[in-house]
Amino acid sequence: MIIDFHAHIGRIHPERKELLDASQLMTRMEEWGIEKACVLALSETPEGDYLEADTEDVLRECSHFPGRLIPFCLIDPRFGLNHPSMNFAPLMEEYVARGCRGMGELLPKMAIDDCRCLNLFQQAARFNLPVVIDLHSRPLSYGLEDAPGLPGLEKVLQSCPETIIVGHGPTFWAEISGSVSPSERGSYPRGPIKPGGAVPRLLKTYPNLWADLSAGSGYNALTRDPAAGLEFLETFQDKLLFGTDYCLRRHTDREVKIIGFFKTLRAKKLISPEAWEKIAWKNAVKLLKL
Ligand SMILES: [Zn+2]
């Protein structure tokens, strides 16, 4: 079995002509041999509005394929009063009651340790909602920000020990390596993974940090230095989640490289069968209590 921890539906801006609905997503999943997918919302956050899909859209689309599509909700940290003590509990309670199992993806252009983000993270834990974050560096118009070495993420992990943070995005994955240059933090760096990376250090230190393998950034991190990528998968097999981040605009040719890569891992026995099964679906089942 394979569970895609990071999938999308939605209408793509600015033209809004292309629509990826639940039926189309299911067709792709059948092609790829993926049994279940977590469907993430984006457009509660204005910076995420390039893909028009808010929690209501996600809930509606997922309701057509119960048990196969798992809805995630999204609340912008600035929602309501844009205040660091805003009470999100009524909204979270409603979303959980309607079937949401996680939150994300969170990509406002804010510092990850902004007090409004910390407030959201802390409240998510009370409703057992793991939070998928997207870390990006300037000048992109979206994505949570952090300094080199990810001190802001570390502060989040320390301040919100009950909250499961699921890392994702180019800046997160660039920090799999030590000595990351500023230009590498916003791109897909090539070449060997150097020792001292923030991501392995934080994954080792904090039980509440997990990561999904989705998107070009996840694929790049695992393949730029093949031997180190395999070692990373084996080492952190209990905290990694397979995901695609499939989105029509980015994948017009329908090629999502992480899928072929992940299947090759099993076919060629490049990682242990136990590690593969955990990353493919067991970790997601455990984390989301499916
Ligand atoms: Zn995404």
pLDDT tens for each residue of the chain, 290 residues long: 999 999 999 987 766 677 889 999 999 999 999 999 999 999 999 888 778 899 999 999 999 999 999 999 999 999 999 999 999 999 999 999 999 999 999 999 999 999 999 999 999 999 999 999 999 987 768 999 999 999 999 999 999 999 999 999 999 999 999 999 988 998 899 999 999 999 999 999 999 999 999 999 999 999 999 999 999 999 999 999 999 998 865 555 457 899 999 999 999 999 999 999 999 999 999 999 99
How many whole angstroms separate alpha carbon 276 and alpha carbon 266? 7
- Largest Cα separation within the chain, whole Å, is 53
How close is the Cα of 39 to the center of ligand 1, in Å? 9
How close is the Cα of 201 to the center of ligand 1, in Å? 24
Residues near 240 by beta carbon (within 8 Å), at least 6 away in sequence:
210, 211, 212, 213, 233, 278, 279, 283
pLDDT at 14 (0 to 100): 66
Helices (H) and strands (E) in the chain, counts: 12, 11
Among residues 172, 250, 175, 185, which one has the least CA distance to residue 212?
172
pLDDT at 248 (0 to 100): 65
Residues facing 37 on adjacent strands: 4, 69
Domains of the chain: total: 1
Q: Residue 238: left (phi > 0), alpha (psi -120 to 50), or beta? A: alpha
| DSSP-H helix ranges across 73-164 | 89-97, 115-126, 151-159
How close is the Cα of 244 to the center of ligand 1, in Å? 8
CATH number of the domain where residue 61 is located = 3.20.20.140
The pocket of ion ligand 1, defined by CB under 5 A, consists of 105, 245
pLDDT at 50 (0 to 100): 75
How many whole angstroms separate alpha carbon 70 and alpha carbon 91? 18
How close is the Cα of 126 to the center of ligand 1, in Å? 24
Model pTM score? 0.96
Give me the domain span that covers residue 182. Answer: 3-288
How close is the Cα of 267 to the center of ligand 1, in Å? 27
pLDDT at 30 (0 to 100): 95
How close is the Cα of 106 to the center of ligand 1, in Å? 9
Q: Edge to edge, what strands does the sheet with 19-20 contain?
A: 19-20, 10-12, 51-52
Tokens 């279940």 belong to 36
